[in-house]
Amino acid sequence: MSTLGLIKEWQSPNFQQFQPFELWIIAALFAALSLGWRLPPTRVAMLLLLLHLALQHGRYVELLGFLAPLLVAPALAPQLAERSARRPAAALDRGLAELAKPASRRGIAIAGAAVLAVSVAAERGGFIREASDITPKAALAAGTALHVTGPVLNDYAFGGYLIFVGLEPFIDGRYFYGDAFIKRYVDATSVLSGDLPQLLSEYHIAWTLLSPRNPAVVLLDHLPGWRKFYADDIAVVHLREGQP
């Protein structure tokens, strides 16, 4: 995810385009208004809070998708069981009831063997591939060979990989920074504010690790006191003068 991806992630969902999230909202309203499904006030409040976050920032849609079933299921289960008891069980209901029974030892053994076989095949057959567009492995290897040290200004998409390899990122996908910090980072690296030199100085940035599509790369190419050290189609590294 580039800086543009970061901007989109923190925007509200665009309902002028198709959004599966819209279908989820329509289904929930239909169930509540037509089927009479009811939830305790505390669970309704938690769902409304999650819905507010998802409508405000697109990145929270997945969080709502993960947590909503956990909040809804305990309250709806008795209501659905009562409805089912008042009508004959359909073939589909009977089939699902059979699947819901605890697995036998034989079933557990078969499932475990299948998972193990798929894992071995994926490991040996090359099915598992790195997300190369967010994995600046070669750029970091070049910096390590030169013993580059000090704080880094990284592309938002590279934050997770930096944490994975044991380096402290400037920014990553965890929301630890606050809206003001994120906006400043986006404006600076998008060269919208002219704040990039001040950001580099204020946080004592010694090197940068950015996507070649990041507008800040062009500015760093011409910024006094900085030199390009490494570049490929995934990442570009600039060093502050005085680094190796």
Does the pLDDT value for residue 59 go beyond 90?
Answer: no
* C-alpha distances out from residue 36 to 21, 45, 75, 85, Å: 22, 18, 13, 17
Judged by average pLDDT, the poorest of 143-147, 152-156, 173-177, 215-219 is 173-177
Judged by average pLDDT, the poorest of 94-108, 157-171, 193-207 is 94-108
The model's confidence at residue 226, banded by pLDDT at 50, 70 and 90, is very high
Higher pLDDT, 80 or 171: 171
Q: From CA 212, how far away is CA 224, in angstroms rounded?
A: 19
Domain boundaries, the chain: 3-87, 132-240
pLDDT at 4: 53
Which residues make Cβ contacts (< 8 Å) with residue 55, sequence separation at least 6? 12, 13
* 105 neighbors 64 (Cβ within 8 angstroms): no
Does the pLDDT value for residue 7 go beyond 70?
Answer: no
Q: List residues bridging with 154 in a β-sheet.
A: 209
pLDDT at 8: 67
